[in-house]
Chain A
């Protein structure tokens, strides 16, 4: 008998196969193959991208938009949102709309076309995270924006259009719906218990242990009890904090170590699957969300989301998070 499990934050139900779950070898996985060719993110091709916004480089010896960098931030050449202009909120009859104002940036994580985030050293990943933080802080100063979304698409089926490893940042004039649901859920839980739902989750996961994939001083990575997707993982900072950008240097170091470990395990165990990760953090300039707890969600793309899931928001996970966590824990890297 499989179970229906309810997410304590959003109230979403997920069907989880606890008996006869699919195991990792049931997924027909082919490794991501890089085609190569001219890449705008490779060193030497800096002129192919919009001008550099920030970079990790020796600023005395090298100039912007030339080689010599290790991490590089540029505007997206084909942005989903435009940076110039006013929002101009308006109604058309019963409908509401505004101009598509926002920032859309790309963080190129390293110079090697063939290296993914998982292949970098923890120190190199740390530099990437530092850029996530500094870009978040900078964009917060723009009064038009209310949310900063950091996400990564790895592999074609996860929506990556360029194969050189990169993370994207979108600053939005609205709070996205999925985030709002979490904020409302966390507030609701807090009202009732005067505790953070994410902190409670960390406590229960540490007690039960069977869903934990990785743990260090500042971070816990586990396959959530209510996983929507096979091998879904959440990375939570152990110290309660609503905003990602307030992460300190020690935590950045631990986050880099945690990312390295779990992304590498995923790569080894599942033959380099396509995945997305997303940082969920509190909105900016929208009140202080004391109840919220920022985190990172990793969603491997192993199955096709079918009509039933789309239409209902009721996900069917053919695997069990307990078993997946065990596979990942036991994976040697």
Chain B
């Protein structure tokens, strides 16, 4: 019997097929090797990108020259423009504003690598530190309400045809995106009712049950969520309640690096380098001047990373209804990923 499961945060229902459960080998992911153009993101090609915003580099090396470990540059194809005013206005019944925002690319390695597990733990820590720093810098721009950190890996996940160079992207927006708002509302609602954080409750129950835990470290846990929308969907969460990703602590950065390295190595091995997206969900920027956020947000929201392998076609049914069919029960996905040896 298929099951209908409800996401406890936003109330989305998902169908989990339990009978014809798909195993990793059923997905049969193929890759076509297409020649890549000269990579603008490799060390030595710094002049091919816009001027760097920030870099972790060897002492004594100059901006836009070799000698870096992580490098942040503006996107060459920005979805948002940094200059100008937001200028909110109406057009009849519709609302419009200028798409002011920042769009940055975090180059995660000077070498031409393609997946994050190929980095060492220390290198991943540098990447995390850079992300934290850039988000805290973007918060200073009062036009922005939200900053989204995400990665598109592989063509099907929206990755670029030109180069596969390992990178993530940061977009700061003048609005809080819908998907985030839903989560914020859901967590607030849960808190009003129970006076507990819904994510903390999820973590507690998952660790107790164990069947959906993929990896558990001292401070960070990775699970296959109860109402996974996609096969092999993974959530990575800090075990200590933290609202903002920016407040991540040193020991959490260490553990997060280990978790990212392990999880993506396992995903790549078991599903033959599947396309995936991951994104950071953190609380919106809150400023004393601009009220409008509820007083419990510090207690009710909990940052986390969502990993979504893109191995099934999302069809009209899912789009139109926001109701997903997942052919792989999360318990099986978690078991499989736990058991993969690297």
Interface residues of A (CB under 8 A from B): 1-6, 8, 10-13, 15, 78, 80-82, 85, 92-100, 149, 151-153, 156-160, 168, 170, 172-174, 176-179, 181, 197, 200-201, 204, 207-208, 225-226, 276-278, 280, 297, 299, 304-314, 316
Q: Main SS of the interface on chain A?
A: mixed
Q: Which residue of B lies closest to A13 (CB)?
A: B175
A-B residue pairs in contact (CB < 8 Å), sample of 23: A4-B99, A4-B175, A5-B95, A6-B94, A10-B178, A94-B205, A95-B227, A96-B6, A98-B3, A99-B3, A100-B15, A149-B323, A158-B315, A159-B313, A177-B13, A304-B157, A306-B277, A307-B150, A307-B308, A311-B279, A311-B306, A312-B171, A312-B173
Q: Which residue of A lies closest to B146 (CB)?
A: A312
A149–B321 contact, CB under 8 A?
Answer: yes
Per-residue interface assignment for chain B, residues 82 to 107, with 1 indicating a CB less than 8 Å from any chain A CB and 0 otherwise: 00100000011111111100000000
- Residues in chain B near residue A310, CB distance under 8 A: 179, 277, 279, 308
Bound CA span A328–B278, Å: 36
Interface membership of B44, Cβ < 8 A? no
Min C-beta distance of A318 to chain B, whole Å:
9
- Residues in chain B near residue A149, CB distance under 8 A: 317, 320-321, 323
Bound CA span A173–B323, Å: 12
Bound CA span A315–B114, Å: 26
Min C-beta distance of B23 to chain A, whole Å:
17
Interface membership of B174, Cβ < 8 A? yes
Bound CA span A169–B74, Å: 46
- Residues in chain A near residue B150, CB distance under 8 A: 307-308, 311
Bound CA span A178–B96, Å: 22
Min C-beta distance of B49 to chain A, whole Å:
20
- Residues in chain B near residue A98, CB distance under 8 A: 3-4
Q: Which residue of A lies closest to B178 (CB)?
A: A313
Q: Which of B233-291 contact A (CB under 8 A)?
A: 277-281
- Residues in chain A near residue B319, CB distance under 8 A: 178, 276, 278, 299
Q: Which residue of B lies closest to A152 (CB)?
A: B316
**B148, B182, B277, B319: which has the most chain A beta carbons within 10 Å?**
B319
In the complex where A11-B178, A80-B15, A151-B317 touch, is A307 in contact with B93 (Cβ < 8 A)? no
Enumerate the 3 nearest inter-chain pairs by beta-carbon distance, A residue then B residue, closest first. Answer: A306-B158, A159-B315, A276-B316
Partner of A13, one of B3, B177, B308: B177
In the complex where A177-B323, A204-B93, A304-B155 touch, is A311 in contact with B1 (Cβ < 8 A)? no
Q: Which residue of B lies closest to A179 (CB)?
A: B321
B314–A159 contact, CB under 8 A?
Answer: yes
- Residues in chain A near residue B96, CB distance under 8 A: 3-6
Bound CA span A13–B205, Å: 35
- Residues in chain B near residue A1, CB distance under 8 A: 81, 84, 98-99
Bound CA span A308–B96, Å: 20
A314–B173 contact, CB under 8 A?
Answer: yes
In the complex where A82-B2, A97-B5, A311-B179 touch, is A306 in contact with B315 (Cβ < 8 A)? no
A94–B201 contact, CB under 8 A?
Answer: yes
Interface membership of B61, Cβ < 8 A? no
**A2, A100, A178, A297: which has the most chain B beta carbons within 10 Å?**
A100
Interface membership of B169, Cβ < 8 A? yes
In the complex where A13-B175, A149-B317 touch, is A305 in contact with B5 (Cβ < 8 A)? no
B316–A97 contact, CB under 8 A?
Answer: no
Min C-beta distance of B154 to chain A, whole Å:
10
Q: Which residue of B lies closest to A168 (CB)?
A: B317
- Residues in chain B near residue A13, CB distance under 8 A: 175, 177-178
Bound CA span A226–B97, Å: 12
Interface membership of B12, Cβ < 8 A? yes
